[in-house]
Amino acid sequence: MGYVKECEATAHQRVAEAEMRIREVGTPGMQRAAEVKMLEAAEELDRIQLAGCSLFPGHRGRFVKCTSCGNPFHDEGSYLAHWRYGPTGRLGCERTASILKVMGFVSDEYRYPGESWPEYVLRHPDRQTR
Ligand SMILES: [Zn+2]
């Protein structure tokens, strides 16, 4: 199972646990807190599921590629890190190079025989999975 699929399974589990907590809590304050946790868990599940739809594994045999923005990523952890809720709350992948840099991404240069231009592969050192 790939890293994104593992994250999705964990997120499903968190949503199920949050749903159970809502039914168990008694006071209105605790109920509201449980509902907030449930919404957070559901948002994270949405983010991972949407990211999973655009994941192309096996790019150049060892990388992954985003079919939404076309960027290659070093690993699934780095790939997942470029999916986020924007300032307006819209869920999508970040594709602006300068913003990706601010988010902590680094760009590694790979050269292949017979190709004139190098390929730049994005990697997030804190989210890297291999
Ligand atoms: Zn993308």
> What gap in Å lies between CA 24 and CA 21, rounded to an integer?
5
How remote is the CA of residue 73 from the centroid of ligand 1, in Å? 9
The pTM of the full predicted model, rounded to 2 decimals, is: 0.90
Q: What is the pLDDT of residues 57-81, one digit of tens each?
A: 999 999 999 999 999 999 999 999 9
Q: What is the pLDDT of residues 2-43, one digit of tens each?
A: 999 999 999 999 999 999 999 898 788 888 999 999 999 999
Beta pairing, strands 72-73 & 63-66: antiparallel
Tell me the backbone φ, ψ of residue 12, rounded to 5 degrees: -60, -45
Instruction: Supply the DSSP string of 97-109, one letter for each residue.
Output: HHHHHHTT-EEEE
How remote is the CA of residue 95 from the centroid of ligand 1, in Å? 6
Residue 1 pLDDT grade (very low, low, confident, very high; cuts 50, 70, 90): confident
User: Count H helices, E strands: the chain?
Assistant: 4, 7
How remote is the CA of residue 84 from the centroid of ligand 1, in Å? 10
